[in-house]
Amino acid sequence: MDSYIVRIYRRGADKAGEEIAGLVEEVGSEQSKAFQTLSGLITTIQEVVGRNETDVSDIHEISSVK
């Protein structure tokens, strides 16, 4: 089983979906990939774990709480 660390940082932004940024890291390797938006987070996770972008059957977006 592969393990990953997702680091999410909150930042001020004018547009919805741009209030987060961070990194997705694979545990035990030097590999990490940055993202700048919520949709970028989902895309980055799919890329790092090797999933096809069109297969989102197990991915559910969570509404931000304000």
pLDDT band at 22 (very low <50, low <70, confident <90, very high): very high
pTM greater than the 0.95 cutoff: no
Higher pLDDT, 17 or 33: 33
Rounded-to-integer distance, Cα 29 and Cα 61, Å: 27
Least confident piece of the model among 11-20, 39-48, 53-62: 53-62
What whole-number percentage of the chain has pLDDT above 70? 67
Written as six digits, the tokens of 45 are 């996770």
Reply yes or no on whether the pLDDT at 29 is more than 60: yes
